[in-house]
Amino acid sequence: MVKIGIIGVGTVGQSVANILEKNKALISARAGKEITVVKGVVSDLSKKRDVNIPLFDDPDVILEDDSIDIVVELMGGMDEPYRIIKKALSNKKAVVTANKALLAYHRFDLQEIAGDIPIGYEASVAGGIPIINALKVGLSANEIMTIKGILNGTCNFMLTKMIEDGCDYFEVLSEAQKLGYAEADPTFDVGGFDAAHKLLILASIAYGIDAKPEDILIEGIEDIKKDDIEFAKEFGYSIKLLAIAKKTDGKIELRVHPALVSKDKMIAKIDGVMNGISVIGDCVGETLYYGPGAGGDATASAVISDIVEIVRAGQSSPMLGFKKPFQSENLTLVSKDDIESEYYLRMFVDDVPGVLASIARILGKNEISIETFLQRPSDNDKKATLLCATHECREKDILNAIEDIEKLSSVGEKVAMIRIDR
């Protein structure tokens, strides 16, 4: 019998305990051994939990119990779970965690500390979708060209609603909050930080690269307006918060931002709270993985898959999939300025002669050529909305152009920019 201790018995922890009980016969047939949760640790013992396991409020009850084989960390946070996982490893216990924030910062030192002791973290990215395993095992023959992920269900729910129902940002945010898809303070989700944490984990498996959230471009969906949605619909795009990892000329681009994505791409078809990840490998081409990115039972499915694999085999490769270093010491991140993309710009301008010419001149001066231009009348008859899509250009150039455009006296507000991922 394999004994499990769960530290953090919230929504996911309760699902883990309950599914291991409900599907016990099936799971132990697959794992080869019976798997039993013997203890749980919670911070507040007075809160009622829907589980049949003894609960404690001291992690050491699990960490110092020699009979426990696998510690499942589901408490969230950073310093305390970091301490707990290190202690579990030093006590030779395998670890399973869903803690993406912790891994965004500490995956490489945890891998080193763990050595041969297994650490599973399938649940840390895209909930129930086995994307970690797909990258570590299923695609191991491939040099990964790009990863494009819809990794945050809150944002995808909101953007889908905006496109489908034409609601504005604050309407959908309040609906998402009512439905429990968004937190009271939604910054972590809508600001792109959650997606960035997950992206960093995937990029380490693909490339062996160590980067921290503060090293990469992260933009959220807060500035998406109805005009953008209408432009998207008119020109055959969907808007998605994309987490992108891309290898170009031996360098790695990592970025999270909203993007206009051609509607006929598979990744554009992933709607609502669902997650999806498109991976392009040099031999396999594109594969795509779709499913629920959150929820107790879906996330527990991933946690338990790690437990089963540890029971079956231990750990077949180090946590991040590389048994020997590869390139990673030479890999560098593409600087944010050097990213190349097509861009969409939205400008709210005075409807006076010469504005268009000034803007076109600024774009030209920055070596940006225009692909589509659209002028819309606004409710205010002295103002107009200009929408513009560019051909591919450098991030630095578009930012310079935007700065210059915003200096024009006829340009009222900040210029909105969304990258285009055709």
Choose, by CB under 8 A, the member of 298, 388, 389, 420 that binds its own copies: 298
Binding status of residue 19 toward its own copies by CB under 8 A: yes
Q: Distances in Å between the alpha carbon of 341 and those of 83, 137, 312, 419?
A: 41, 31, 45, 7
Choose, by CB under 8 A, the member of 128, 149, 192, 220 that binds its own copies: 128
Question: E strands of 351-398, at which residues?
Answer: 370-377, 383-390, 393-394
Provide the 3-class DSSP secondary structure of residue 135.
helix
The one segment of 65-73, 99-107, 325-333, 406-414 that binds its own copies by CB under 8 A: 325-333
Choose, by CB under 8 A, the member of 14, 97, 301, 341 that binds its own copies: 301
Distance CA 230, CA 170 (A): 17
Residues within window 143-172 making contact with its own copies, judged by CB under 8 A: 143
Using H for helix, E for strand and C for coil, what is the string for 162-200?
A: HHHHCCCHHHHHHHHHHCCCCCCCCHHHHCCHHHHHHHH
Give the shortest CB-12-to-its own copies separation in angstroms.
Answer: 11
With beta carbons less than 8 A apart as the criterion, state whether 51 and 45 touch. Answer: no
Provide the 3-class DSSP secondary structure of residue 339.
coil
Choose, by CB under 8 A, the member of 48, 324, 382, 407 that binds its own copies: 324
Binding status of residue 248 toward its own copies by CB under 8 A: no
40 vs 276, beta carbon nearer its own copies: 276
- Helix ranges restricted to H, 32-151: 60-63, 79-90, 100-114, 131-133
Give the shortest CB-268-to-its own copies separation in angstroms.
Answer: 10
77 vs 314, beta carbon nearer its own copies: 314
Give strand pairing partners of 291: 275
Residues within window 170-209 making contact with its own copies, judged by CB under 8 A: 208
With beta carbons less than 8 A apart as the criterion, state whether 110 and 90 touch. Answer: no
Choose, by CB under 8 A, the member of 85, 308, 339, 398 that binds its own copies: 308
Give strand pairing partners of 421: 261
Choose, by CB under 8 A, the member of 283, 329, 357, 381 that binds its own copies: 283
Q: Which of 198, 240, 246, 247 is catalytic?
A: 198
Dihedral sign from CA coordinates of 258, 259, 264, 265: negative
Binding status of residue 302 toward its own copies by CB under 8 A: yes
29 vs 352, beta carbon nearer its own copies: 29
Tell me the one-letter amino acid at 417.
Answer: M
Q: Which residue in 93, 112, 92, 104 sits closest to 7, CA to CA?
A: 93
Tell me the one-letter amino acid at 83.
Answer: R
Helix 169-178 with 153-165: angle, nearest 10 deg: 130
Binding status of residue 269 toward its own copies by CB under 8 A: yes
The one segment of 13-21, 60-68, 104-112, 371-379 that binds its own copies by CB under 8 A: 13-21
Q: Which residue in 322, 121, 126 sits closest to 206, CA to CA?
A: 322
Binding status of residue 316 toward its own copies by CB under 8 A: yes
Binding status of residue 72 toward its own copies by CB under 8 A: no
With beta carbons less than 8 A apart as the criterion, state whether 412 and 380 touch. Answer: no
29 vs 45, beta carbon nearer its own copies: 29
Distance CA 368, CA 249 (A): 22
Give the shortest CB-278-to-its own copies separation in angstroms.
Answer: 8
The one segment of 184-192, 301-309, 329-337, 382-390 that binds its own copies by CB under 8 A: 301-309
∠ at Cα 328 (302, 309), nearest 5°? 25
Binding status of residue 291 toward its own copies by CB under 8 A: yes
Choose, by CB under 8 A, the member of 38, 145, 266, 399 that binds its own copies: 266
Binding status of residue 375 toward its own copies by CB under 8 A: no
Catalytic (active site) residue 198: yes
Give the interface with its own copies as residue ranges (CB under 8 A). 15, 19-20, 23, 25-33, 122, 128-130, 133-134, 137-143, 208, 266, 269, 281-292, 295, 297-298, 300-305, 308-309, 312-314, 316-317, 321-327
Residues classed as catalytic: 198
